[in-house]
Chains A and B, each alone.
Chain A
Amino acid sequence: MTTRTHVFAATALTLALAPGLAAAPASAQSRDQIRAVGSSTVFPFTTAVAEAFGKTGKFKTPVVESTGTGGGLKLFCAGVGPAHPDIANASRRIKKSEIDQCAANGVTTMTELKIGYDGIALASSKKAAPVSLSTVVLWKALAKEVPVNGALVANPYRLWSDIDPSLPKTAIEVLGPPPTSGTRDTFNELAMLEGCRKVAEVAKAVPDEKAHERACMTIREDGAYVEAGENDNLIVQKLTANPNAFGVFGYSYLDQNRDTLQAARMDGVELTAETVAAGKYELARPLYIYVKNAHAGVIPGIREFVGEYTSERALGDDGYLVDKGLIPEPKALREAARVEAVNLTPLQF
């Protein structure tokens, strides 16, 4: 009995104390590891660069968090010093209000690097006649509720020609990714929300900002939009079988299947790497990273990391980021961006 008791007391004491010695508090610290936060769209690209950068062996592998663009910029702008991240990933340009917030917290200089684009293709079989769509047409074709005479009603459109007489007299059928997919998020934001914002009646019918957004991004469930799972190959098969249907893809996938697929023009603009880079094609958005200049030279490896990000082996036409779905800028622009980025030329507003 007593021995057991003592064993117990001893065990309890060791359990309690031994690790306690290790838990020495660490206060304001220096940091030898780059930290990046921000957009979940840029996350796969920045992590790929981080890993390649870490493998060079000179620096620790950067830590990348996926917090969303807004949350990332908020952390990024919270101050200068090792407690704050060095790099923010963003799927849109930084806003004036965010720059002001940054400045208020002492983050006065930062470098902007446009790494490339994230784009959506609305593709059909090569057998179909080429068409030109727009975000408004897409929204009207796919929204759950559309305005008729000023009130939102269940989507009445069955044929593309119901929306615009110049469009073909074929049933609306779009095969697209399920809500869990990142492509669907991009599609919702670039096509549905943008198209909806151009329809003034919606804002009038639903004045509340949040509800408005929800009304814009709710896709109809009566069979016109078919959730086709994550298997892009299956969508291609179905598009070949039904030339009247459209499929929603990421740009890189379309690019690899140009032999069987054609992309619909958006407002008359064809989908090519050039129109995307020129900002003419609507269903694409630029992706950025922001680097805190004050941290260069303090946190080791920031310049080298930016160098890796802009290197041809990452961003080039055969680079590993392109394999992961990024649309790179044309070569001349890339070169210029690389020089600016590596020199940490501050962003001017």
Chain B
Amino acid sequence: MTDLVEQDVAAVTPSPSPSSSPAKSRLRSEAFARRLRARHAAERRFRLAGAAAVALAALILVLLLGSIVAKGASAFLETRIRLEVTLDPAEVADRNYTALLRRALYAQFPQVTDRAGRRVLNDLLSSGAPYELEAMVARDPALVGTTRTVWVRADDQIDQLVKGGYRRDLPESERGLSDAKVAATDALLASGALAQGFNTTLFTAGDSREPEQAGIGGAIVGSLLTLLVTMALSVPVGISAAVYLEEFAPKNRWTDLIEVNINNLAAVPSIIFGLLGLAVFLGFFGMPRSAPLVGGLVMALMTLPVIIIASRVALKAVPPSIREAALGIGASPLQTVLHHVLPLAMPGILTGTIIGMARALGETAPLLMIGMVAFIVDIPHGLTDSATVLPVQIYMWADSPERAFTERTSAAILILLGVLILLNGAAVILRKIFERRW
């Protein structure tokens, strides 16, 4: 990294290489030596300042990523409890899966018989555990009447305790978790009935108020649907507009006006597009609130100027000789653009498009106005289903008081960062593959 800086510094300050100068003997005066020293010192200071700036930026990046990774890594594991559940047909018919699970759990603690003790045991299980069991039985009805070993989700407090989120050395009153729960957890750990595994829930489930049942599945699908709409609209419209403005439009006051407006639109704060979406798409067209369709439309309006500007720059970079050659051998202007200019400009256009999409992926402000910042549990199946998106999910989890949401927030940030890196990486690769040099 420092090498890069030094090259950059050398490039912008074309001072002569000092010590190896052959003219050294002629320039021995005291004043010259002083000026030379001052100039060298100035250059050294400049390089140092540059290196320090880069080091500072790198340090902040490392700190930021480090803290997110340190906080979020544990969210990729979840704690499950092993239970020997007897699927009593009567209870199954009653859908009383909670009782089945509790009975199996009590069997592991034969010494606990009082109400208070059993309530502690009840709290070890996630409130979603009965639904897991129910889903299992629904998949395979032959299980009814048998005794099975199942691994069900533990409560988020137990999960945090196993991961070290609670300090065991603190007295009970300051720990926020009762001694009885800690003892029960330790007993389960000792007997091997408590284990950590990969947290698939985090990727498949929708939102939940219970951290151990919360996932970003719904948000990922929502982001995907929103981006699909955005892309379907902004890419063809953006590229067509850029081609027309760059290749066909006459240069007059009107096209100048349009150009100024497009440049202005690119700098409009995103919340304004949200207000526009609220007034036009929801208010005038009566589209549903919280729908990825509306989110995608708003994002498309937001990314359109970015794509037009990037595409125009890419089209401008195609040398006129290509156009002249094509026209010279008899191609029509449309053929010239479609067969020659546009393909050559494509790498730049794609880069601009992907960067625009990445921006749309990370945006929350316009979605606030159209109801996509909401608590949504069900995973959306279509463009008009209620949905939220990844950054919104991060924001909502960060706002939740449960401590298990802290690590899930960081994990969701890591996933969002991963997707963004993938997108930007794709932009770089596409540019490298299709790049042309003249």
One of A9, A22, A48 near B209 (C-beta < 8 A): A48
One of B209, B339, B383 near A51 (C-beta < 8 A): B209
| Given known A60-B378, A61-B378, contact A83–B282 (CB-CB < 8 A) | yes
The answer to whether B233 touches A35, judged by C-beta atoms less than 8 angstroms apart, is: no
Which of A28, A31, A54, A55 gathers the greatest number of chain B CB atoms within 10 Å? Answer: A55
- Contact mask B314-329 → A, CB, 8 Å, 1/0? 0000000000000000
Interface residues of A in 166-190 (CB under 8 A from B): none
- Contact mask B232-265 → A, CB, 8 Å, 1/0? 1101100100000000000000000000000000
Closest to B173 in A: A233
With a cutoff of 8 Å between Cβ atoms, the chain A residues found around residue B384 in the complex are: 26, 29
Which of B206, B282, B291, B384 gathers the greatest number of chain A CB atoms within 10 Å? Answer: B384
With a cutoff of 8 Å between Cβ atoms, the chain B residues found around residue A22 in the complex are: 228, 232, 383
Interchain Cβ contacts under 8 Å between A and B, 21 examples? A5-B343, A8-B343, A9-B342, A9-B343, A12-B235, A12-B239, A19-B231, A23-B229, A23-B296, A25-B293, A27-B286, A29-B384, A33-B378, A35-B289, A44-B209, A63-B376, A64-B374, A64-B375, A66-B373, A83-B288, A230-B401
Q: Does A4 sit at the interface, judged by CB under 8 A? A: yes
Complex Cα distance, B289 from A64, in Å, reads 11
Q: Does B215 sit at the interface, judged by CB under 8 A? A: no
| Given known A8-B343, A15-B231, A15-B235, contact A65–B434 (CB-CB < 8 A) | no
Which of B209, B291, B293, B378 gathers the greatest number of chain A CB atoms within 10 Å? Answer: B209
Complex Cα distance, B367 from A31, in Å, reads 20
The answer to whether A55 touches B174, judged by C-beta atoms less than 8 angstroms apart, is: no
Complex Cα distance, B206 from A25, in Å, reads 25
How far, in Å, is B292 (CB) from chain A's closest CB?
A: 10
Q: Does B346 sit at the interface, judged by CB under 8 A? A: yes
One of B291, B371, B375 near A26 (C-beta < 8 A): B291
With a cutoff of 8 Å between Cβ atoms, the chain A residues found around residue B339 in the complex are: 5
Q: Does A117 sit at the interface, judged by CB under 8 A? A: no
Complex Cα distance, B387 from A65, in Å, reads 12
How far, in Å, is A226 (CB) from chain B's closest CB?
A: 18
Complex Cα distance, B289 from A31, in Å, reads 11
Q: Does A237 sit at the interface, judged by CB under 8 A? A: yes
Residues of chain B touching chain A, judged by Cβ–Cβ distance below 8 Å, are 128, 131, 173-174, 176, 206, 208-210, 228-229, 231-233, 235-236, 239, 282, 285-291, 293, 296, 338-339, 342-343, 346, 371, 373-378, 383-384, 386, 401, 434
The answer to whether A65 touches B231, judged by C-beta atoms less than 8 angstroms apart, is: no
With a cutoff of 8 Å between Cβ atoms, the chain A residues found around residue B209 in the complex are: 44, 47-48, 51
The 9 A-B residue pairs with the shortest CB-CB distance, nearest first, are: A61-B377, A19-B232, A16-B236, A5-B343, A65-B374, A19-B228, A20-B232, A64-B375, A47-B375
One of A4, A16, A50, A60 near B343 (C-beta < 8 A): A4
With a cutoff of 8 Å between Cβ atoms, the chain A residues found around residue B401 in the complex are: 230
The answer to whether A54 touches B377, judged by C-beta atoms less than 8 angstroms apart, is: yes
The answer to whether B374 touches A63, judged by C-beta atoms less than 8 angstroms apart, is: yes
With a cutoff of 8 Å between Cβ atoms, the chain B residues found around residue A4 in the complex are: 343, 434
Complex Cα distance, B288 from A148, in Å, reads 55
With a cutoff of 8 Å between Cβ atoms, the chain B residues found around residue A16 in the complex are: 232, 235-236, 239
Complex Cα distance, B206 from A31, in Å, reads 20
The answer to whether B232 touches A54, judged by C-beta atoms less than 8 angstroms apart, is: no
The answer to whether A23 touches B383, judged by C-beta atoms less than 8 angstroms apart, is: yes
With a cutoff of 8 Å between Cβ atoms, the chain A residues found around residue B233 in the complex are: 20, 23
Closest to B131 in A: A55
The answer to whether A63 touches B386, judged by C-beta atoms less than 8 angstroms apart, is: yes
The answer to whether A26 touches B228, judged by C-beta atoms less than 8 angstroms apart, is: no
With a cutoff of 8 Å between Cβ atoms, the chain B residues found around residue A17 in the complex are: 232, 236
How far, in Å, is B352 (CB) from chain A's closest CB?
A: 13
Complex Cα distance, B371 from A308, in Å, reads 24
Q: Does A225 sit at the interface, judged by CB under 8 A? A: no
Q: Does A43 sit at the interface, judged by CB under 8 A? A: yes
Closest to A85 in B: B289
With a cutoff of 8 Å between Cβ atoms, the chain B residues found around residue A23 in the complex are: 228-229, 232-233, 293, 296, 383
How far, in Å, is B107 (CB) from chain A's closest CB?
A: 25
How far, in Å, is B78 (CB) from chain A's closest CB?
A: 18
The answer to whether B174 touches A83, judged by C-beta atoms less than 8 angstroms apart, is: no
Complex Cα distance, B343 from A82, in Å, reads 46
The answer to whether B375 touches A54, judged by C-beta atoms less than 8 angstroms apart, is: no
With a cutoff of 8 Å between Cβ atoms, the chain B residues found around residue A28 in the complex are: 286
Complex Cα distance, B378 from A64, in Å, reads 12
One of B206, B282, B346, B386 near A12 (C-beta < 8 A): B346
The answer to whether A20 touches B291, judged by C-beta atoms less than 8 angstroms apart, is: no
Complex Cα distance, B270 from A216, in Å, reads 33
Closest to B293 in A: A26
The answer to whether A8 touches B374, judged by C-beta atoms less than 8 angstroms apart, is: no
- Contact mask A28-71 → B, CB, 8 Å, 1/0? 11010101010000011001101100110000110111100000
Closest to A324 in B: B209
How far, in Å, is B358 (CB) from chain A's closest CB?
A: 15
Complex Cα distance, B371 from A136, in Å, reads 39
Complex Cα distance, B373 from A5, in Å, reads 42
Closest to A45 in B: B209
| Given known A23-B229, A26-B288, contact A233–B174 (CB-CB < 8 A) | yes
Complex Cα distance, B375 from A51, in Å, reads 9
Closest to B285 in A: A27
Closest to A61 in B: B377
One of A12, A50, A230 near B377 (C-beta < 8 A): A50
The answer to whether B288 touches A29, judged by C-beta atoms less than 8 angstroms apart, is: yes
How far, in Å, is B204 (CB) from chain A's closest CB?
A: 16
The answer to whether A31 touches B236, judged by C-beta atoms less than 8 angstroms apart, is: no
With a cutoff of 8 Å between Cβ atoms, the chain A residues found around residue B373 in the complex are: 65-66
The answer to whether B375 touches A33, judged by C-beta atoms less than 8 angstroms apart, is: no
Given contacts A12-B346, A33-B378, 5 further A-B contacts (CB under 8 A): A5-B343, A8-B346, A26-B287, A63-B374, A64-B374
Complex Cα distance, B176 from A123, in Å, reads 19
With a cutoff of 8 Å between Cβ atoms, the chain A residues found around residue B232 in the complex are: 16-20, 22-23
How far, in Å, is B405 (CB) from chain A's closest CB?
A: 12
With a cutoff of 8 Å between Cβ atoms, the chain B residues found around residue A54 in the complex are: 377-378
Complex Cα distance, B374 from A35, in Å, reads 10
